[in-house]
Amino acid sequence: MSNTNPLWKTLLLATVLLVGAFFALPNLFGSDPAIQISSRSGDLSESDKAKFTQTLEAAGLTDFEIREPADRIMAVFADGEEQLKAQAALLEAYNPNQFTIAQSLESASPEWLRNIASPMYLGLDLRGGVHFLMEVDMGDAIDSAEERYVSDWKRILRAENKKGSSVQHRNGVLTARMRDEATRDEMLIAFGEEGQLLDMSVRDEGGRYYIDANLTPEAADDEKRLALKQNIVTLRNRINELGVSEPVIQQQGLERIVVQLPGVQDPTRARDILGATATLQYRLVHGTPSAWAAAQNGTIPAGTQLFKERDTGTPILLNRDIIVTGDQIKDASAGFDQQSGSPAVFVNLDNAGARRMQDVTAENIGNLMAVVYSEKRVSKRLVTGDDGEQKEVTESKTIEEVINSATIRDVLSHRFQTTGLASEEASNLALLLRAGALKAPVVIIEERTVGASLGEDNIRQGFYSALGGLALVICFMIFYYKGFGVIAGLALVTNVVLIIAVLSSLQATLTLPGIAGIVLTTGMAVDANVLIFERIREELRAGSSVQRAISAGYDKAFSTIADANVTTLIAAVVLFSLGTGPIKGFAITLSIGILTSMFTAILGSRVIVNALYGGRRMNTLPI
C-alpha cells in the first residue's frame, strides 16, 4: 500500500498557499499616517489638487507621497507629527463646508501590491481613538410617534364638525376631549379607523368625556426598532461628514449604540455632532408686535404658538402650521451672506418641500416668515424615589428659538439661505442638516479615549504574544513528534498566514480580542495534528505497516477532529451573532481560524506527509 497525492490536492494546496501569502503580504509593510481631502460636491478639480500640494509645501512639508484614489487626493507621511501639521494647514486653506479633510492610515506596501491587496484594518484598541456608548431615548421616540396622531384626530374632528372638542398629547398620553357621550362614542369609531396601531380607552371626568390612547405594545416595539435603525444610519452619515475613516457603529442591545472613531484624539467636536438634534423649521409670522406682547401676557390666539427671538428675547407669534422642516432639506452648506457678510446656511429642499415652500410664499408675499432653530437636549440626573433610593432619570428638553424673521419679497422654491447664526453654529447646523435628523435623542453614557501610543503598545505586545505562543507550540511539537512535528509547525505557520489573508481580503478590523482569538486558534489548530499523530503511533504499535498507519491515522481521526471543530465553530457563531464590540472581534478570528486549521491540519499536512513518506518502503517513521 502506498500513500500518494492526487494532482488536484497538490495544486489546490499550492494555490491556496500562494494566494494566502499574497493577500497577507501587505500587512508586513505596516501603515503610514496620511491626510486626505475630498469634495462634498463630487470629484476634485485639478486646481483643488494643485492647491493641496502647494499648501503642504507652503507649510514646510516636503517628505510626503501624493496618492490619488478615486474622487480624492491624499498625502502620506513618515510620522504622525507631520500629519497633524498638514491637517492644520489644510483646514486653514480649504472651506470645511465644501471639502472633507480626514486623517487616515494608509498601507506602506508598494503601489503594484496596493492595487491588488490591502492590509486589514486596526481597531480602536490598536490604533487609538474615541469610544462612545450611546443610549437612545426610546420614550421620546414613542412620544413622537403618538404626537403624529394629534393632527389626524384634529382633521377628523373638523371634518365631522365636532365643535367644542380638543386633542392634545401630554404626559405620554394622547387625549381627545368631547362635550357629550354620543360624540365620544362616534369619534371612538372614527379614530379607530385611522389609528389601528393605538390602544384606546374611554373615561368620564367633570362632565367631560375623554378618549385616551397609546401605541400598542407591538407598535411601540416597531417604533423602537425603527428609531434605533434610523439613528445608526444618521450617526454613520454624520461620521462621514466629519471625515473619520474606518468608523465602527454597532447596535448593542435594544436601546444602545456603540460608536468607535479610530484616529480621533479630540472627542469634543465628535461628541457635539453625534449627539446633536438641531434642525430648522420655517413658519409664517402671525399678527403684529402688539399682538405678540398681548400673547406674552397669556392671550394666545388659536392656531398660533409663542416664541422668543434669540438675540433680543422679544416675543413673536408664529402659526402652528410648519411650512417645511429639516426632514425635507436634502442638502445644506454654510457660507456668508453676500450683502451683510454674516454667516448663513444655504438650504436645498426636496421636491415636496420646494412645492410647499413655493405655494406658501406665493400666497404670502409681503408677509413675514420666521426661521425656528429647534434643538432637543437630553440629560441625566439622579432623583430620590419613594423608597429613598437614588435613580438615574433621563430628561429631554426642547429649545426653540426664532433666529431670523424677514419679509417674503419673492416666491421661494428649492434653494434659499438662512441667516442669524454664529459662524461655527452655521457650520455645525449645515452638517446636521446634510446628515439628517436623529429619530430620537441619544445620551452618551460612556466615553473613552485611547491614546495612539497605547495603541502602539497593544500592537507590539499582541504581536509578541502571538509570536511567542506560535514558537512555543512549534518547539513542543518538534520535541515530541520529531520530523512530523516540523510538518505540524509548517501547517501551523500556514494557518496563521491564511487567517491574516482572510482578514485582509474581507477588510475586517483586527482588535486586541481578535489577537487573542488568533493565539487561541494557534493552540487549537495543532490539536488536530496531535490527534492524527497519536493515531499513527497507535497503528504502528499495533503492528500495522508504515503506509497503512499513515492512512489510518488521517482517516480515523477525521471524525473526531470534525466534531471538535464544528462544536467550537457553533460557539463562535453564537458569540458573533449575540455579542458586541470586542466579543465580535474575538469570534471573527476564532471562526476563521477554525476553518483554516481544518484545511491546513488535515489536507495540508497530509499532502506533505504523503510527498515525503508516502511512496517509500520504510519500517518506521520519525514520529
Domains of the chain from N-terminus onward:
7-26+459-614 (1.20.1640.10), 32-108 (3.30.70.260), 139-218 (3.30.70.990), 278-442 (3.30.1360.200)
Residue 39 CA to residue 97 CA, distance in Å, equals 9
Confidence class for position 501, pLDDT limits 50, 70, 90: very high
Contact, 536 vs 623, CB < 8 A? yes
Residues paired with 201 in a beta bridge: 212
Contact, 507 vs 117, CB < 8 A? no
> What interhelical angle do 138-159 and 217-242 show, nearest 10?
120
For residue 289, the one-letter residue type is P
Confidence class for position 230, pLDDT limits 50, 70, 90: confident
Mean pLDDT of 606-620: 79
With 60 as the cut, is the pLDDT of residue 1 above it?
A: no
**What pLDDT sits at residue 269?**
66
Query: Any idea how long the chain is?
Result: 623
Among the ranges given (206-210, 322-326, 395-399), the one the predictor scored with the smallest mean pLDDT: 395-399
Confidence class for position 455, pLDDT limits 50, 70, 90: low
Mean pLDDT of 27-52: 81
Confidence class for position 453, pLDDT limits 50, 70, 90: low
With 80 as the cut, is the pLDDT of residue 362 above it?
A: yes
Mean pLDDT of 45-69: 87
With 60 as the cut, is the pLDDT of residue 142 above it?
A: yes
Residue 535 CA to residue 560 CA, distance in Å, equals 11
With 80 as the cut, is the pLDDT of residue 117 above it?
A: yes
Residues paired with 280 in a beta bridge: 373
Residues paired with 38 in a beta bridge: 72, 100
Mean pLDDT of 61-89: 84
Burial of 534 (0-12, 13-18, 19+ CB in 10 A): middle
Mean pLDDT of 121-145: 81
Residue 175 CA to residue 553 CA, distance in Å, equals 77
**What pLDDT sits at residue 488?**
87
Where in 386-483 does DSSP place strands (E)? Answer: 390-407, 415-419, 442-450
Task: Identify which has the larger pLDDT, 390 or 215.
Answer: 215
Residue 595 CA to residue 3 CA, distance in Å, equals 25
Confidence class for position 392, pLDDT limits 50, 70, 90: low
For residue 392, the one-letter residue type is E
Residue 459 CA to residue 455 CA, distance in Å, equals 6
Among the ranges given (214-223, 298-307, 360-369), the one the predictor scored with the smallest mean pLDDT: 298-307
**What pLDDT sits at residue 474?**
87
With 70 as the cut, is the pLDDT of residue 451 above it?
A: no
Highest mean pLDDT among 58-67, 101-110, 114-123, 139-148: 58-67
Q: Count CB neighbours of 438 within 10 A.
A: 26
* DSSP-based three-state secondary structure for 355: helix
Among the ranges given (359-363, 402-406, 487-491), the one the predictor scored with the smallest mean pLDDT: 402-406
Mean pLDDT of 490-503: 90
Mean pLDDT of 564-592: 84
CA nearest neighbour of 462 among 399, 386, 516, 536: 516
Mean pLDDT of 431-443: 73
Half-sphere exposure of 615 toward its Cβ, with a 13 Å CA cutoff? 7
Task: Identify which has the larger pLDDT, 532 or 290.
Answer: 532
Strand pairing of 31-39 and 99-107? antiparallel
Q: Which residues contact 131 (CB under 8 A, 6 or more apart)?
A: 124, 258, 259, 260, 261, 446, 447, 448, 449, 450
CA nearest neighbour of 259 among 100, 442, 504, 505: 442
Residue 256 CA to residue 581 CA, distance in Å, equals 12
**What pLDDT sits at residue 547?**
82
- Grid coordinates representing 289 are 408686535
Share of the chain above pLDDT 70, in %: 88
Task: Identify which has the larger pLDDT, 78 or 241.
Answer: 78
Share of the chain above pLDDT 90, in %: 1
Rounded to 5°, the CA angle 549-550-551 comes to: 90
Confidence class for position 266, pLDDT limits 50, 70, 90: low
Mean pLDDT of 220-224: 88
Contact, 399 vs 374, CB < 8 A? yes
For residue 300, the one-letter residue type is I
Strand pairing of 173-178 and 166-170? antiparallel
- Grid coordinates representing 12 are 489546490
Please give the radius of gyration of the chain, using alpha carbons only, rounded to the nearest integer. Answer: 33
* DSSP-based three-state secondary structure for 54: helix
Residue 209 CA to residue 183 CA, distance in Å, equals 9
Q: Count CB neighbours of 416 within 10 A.
A: 17
Q: Count CB neighbours of 359 within 10 A.
A: 12
Q: How far is CA 601 from CA 415, 466, 490, 554, in A?
A: 65, 19, 10, 10
**What pLDDT sits at residue 18?**
92
Strand pairing of 173-178 and 208-215? antiparallel
CA nearest neighbour of 18 among 492, 496, 488, 497: 497
Q: Count CB neighbours of 21 within 10 A.
A: 14
**What pLDDT sits at residue 41?**
61
Contact, 406 vs 369, CB < 8 A? yes
With 70 as the cut, is the pLDDT of residue 246 above it?
A: no
Q: How far is CA 279 from CA 24, 238, 416, in A?
A: 46, 14, 16
Residue 191 CA to residue 155 CA, distance in Å, equals 11
CA nearest neighbour of 61 among 80, 83, 46, 31: 83
Mean pLDDT of 269-287: 76
Residue 224 CA to residue 256 CA, distance in Å, equals 11
CA nearest neighbour of 552 among 568, 534, 567: 534
With 70 as the cut, is the pLDDT of residue 277 above it?
A: no
